[in-house]
Amino acid sequence: MSVTLVKNVGLMLSGEVARPLLPADSILIEDGVIKAIGQGLEAPEGAQVIDAQGCAVTPGLIDSHCHVVLGDWTPRQQMQNYLESSLHGGVTTSISAGEVHLPGRPKDPVGAKCLAILAAKSWANLRPGGMKVLGGALILEKGLTEEDIAECYQHGVRVVGEVGLGSVKDPEEAAQMVAWAKARGMTVMMHTGGTSIPGSSVVGPQEVIQVQPSVASHINGGPTAVDLEGAKAIIDQTQAAIEIVQCGNPRRAVEVTRYINQKEQWGRVIMGNDAPSGTGVVTLGILRNLALVASLGEVPPELAVCMATGNTATLYGLRRGRIQEGLEADLVFMDAPMGSPGQDLLAALKEGDTPGISLVMVDGRVVVSKSRNTPPPKRKAQVVTP
């Protein structure tokens, strides 16, 4: 059995809106799973010990909107190892929003189905640098039947990629397919706002309300946002999770999060990059989202962290994203960056600064021992016994 003790945690962020800060400074991990959380826990004999040296620990960040294809390569930006690079930005799980960038992507029902199944099975076997990828997001193309969707589910497809990116554009046609997918417990994303690339479509608030997806993807635009009234209509007239992305419109991100503050619906917001995309690959995108909503968006920073962790995990039924006994030990050790006027993680986020990461853990195993992408943190976690 492998045992790890994490000690001297300055701030323990649970990822849960109901109780975002835990009164604890140590975590005991056994075989990759959180066994105990407490104050001054002792290391069992032979345990690996990680000294957080007063920094903050959060659940591993979840990017709710990533356009993976197959392997750690993006044809959209001709980049290799972009997922492994995002791991250095604290992202331990990425969720596919549809493998739309596959060169020569088939648009017939059989091709769409096969691509989703292939991607789901391939990503189940592949962890770039240690990152977990929920891949295989079915793109809705004309002609898909209820049997096709059932077959996808049977072979491991759990997500319908952004509605609007495939040939199904008519809300009535989409609503029928979405109902079939939701009936099987699949999570359905819907592109919201202006066209991202030639060939996709403008999706207005009325269409989102008519289709009732599980996620109103990039409510702040991917990259062009619906107007504020439209965003409020989606928030008020659907049950959908509300997604804020890095590669969108920052003004709308701020306006939407302020509206969420008024309604106290922090548990409904999730965070993605919407990368790789025309905007590029932003390896610190999720950290930048946290800083944006906690500073200009005025979301309490400990709740902002939930938007990139526990909220998304709960929506997708993942056994991670929260610091809770029995869940997978995917953790990020971060702090205010050196030079920030903020003295700890929460104060730095309020300032709008991008945090510094000293260590990233997946299933209790250290996968990054010093981020090559973030600024250096004020306090750095260290492995004291190997």
Least distance in angstroms from the C-beta of 190 to Zn ion: 9
Q: Is 41 helix (H, G, I), strand (E, B) or coil?
A: coil
Least distance in angstroms from the C-beta of 361 to Zn ion: 31
Contact segment (CB under 5 A) with Zn ion among 122-130, 148-156, 161-169, 259-267 equals: 161-169
Q: Which is nearer to Zn ion, 64 or 85 (CB)?
A: 64
Q: What span, in angstroms and rounded, lies between the C-alpha atoms of 137 and 186? A: 10
Closest CA to 337 of 356, 318, 351, 319: 356
Strand partners, 334: 56, 357
Least distance in angstroms from the C-beta of 265 to Zn ion: 22
- The footprint of Zn ion on this chain (CB under 5 A) covers a number of residues equal to 3
Q: Which is nearer to Zn ion, 9 or 139 (CB)?
A: 139
Q: What span, in angstroms and rounded, lies between the C-alpha atoms of 332 and 89? A: 9
Q: Which is nearer to Zn ion, 210 or 382 (CB)?
A: 210
In order of 27, 53, 60, 343, the CA distances from 41 in angstroms are: 7, 15, 22, 26
Least distance in angstroms from the C-beta of 88 to Zn ion: 25
Q: Which is nearer to Zn ion, 58 or 279 (CB)?
A: 279
Q: What span, in angstroms and rounded, lies between the C-alpha atoms of 375 and 9? A: 20
| Site membership for Zn ion, residue 162 (CB under 5 A) | yes
Residue 276: cis peptide before it, omega within 30 degrees of 0: yes
**Residue 321 CB partners (closer than 8 Å, separation 6+):** 15, 59, 60, 62, 93, 309, 310, 311, 312, 313, 314, 327, 330
Least distance in angstroms from the C-beta of 64 to Zn ion: 12
Contact segment (CB under 5 A) with Zn ion among 84-92, 121-129, 185-193, 376-384 equals: 185-193
Contact segment (CB under 5 A) with Zn ion among 55-63, 206-214, 217-225, 244-252 equals: 217-225
Answer for which of 7, 76, 191, 268 binds Zn ion (CB under 5 A) is 191
Concatenate the DSSP letters of all residues of 154-194 into one string: HTT--EEEEETSSS---HHHHHHHHHHHHHTT-EEEE--BS
Q: What span, in angstroms and rounded, lies between the C-alpha atoms of 7 and 12? A: 11
Q: Which is nearer to Zn ion, 20 or 222 (CB)?
A: 222
Contact segment (CB under 5 A) with Zn ion among 157-165, 248-256, 290-298, 364-372 equals: 157-165
Q: Which is nearer to Zn ion, 54 or 250 (CB)?
A: 250
Residue 352 belongs to what H/E stretch? Answer: none
Backbone angles phi, psi at 117, to 5 degrees: -70, -45
Least distance in angstroms from the C-beta of 196 to Zn ion: 5
Least distance in angstroms from the C-beta of 222 to Zn ion: 4
Contact segment (CB under 5 A) with Zn ion among 69-77, 148-156, 222-230, 374-382 equals: 222-230
| Site membership for Zn ion, residue 222 (CB under 5 A) | yes
Least distance in angstroms from the C-beta of 341 to Zn ion: 36
| Site membership for Zn ion, residue 328 (CB under 5 A) | no
At how many degrees (to 10) do helices 109-124 and 146-154 cross?
A: 10
Contact segment (CB under 5 A) with Zn ion among 75-83, 148-156, 159-167, 330-338 equals: 159-167
Strand partners, 158: none
Q: Which two tokens stand for residue 342?
A: 């903020």
Residues in contact with Zn ion by the rule CB under 5 A: 162, 191, 222
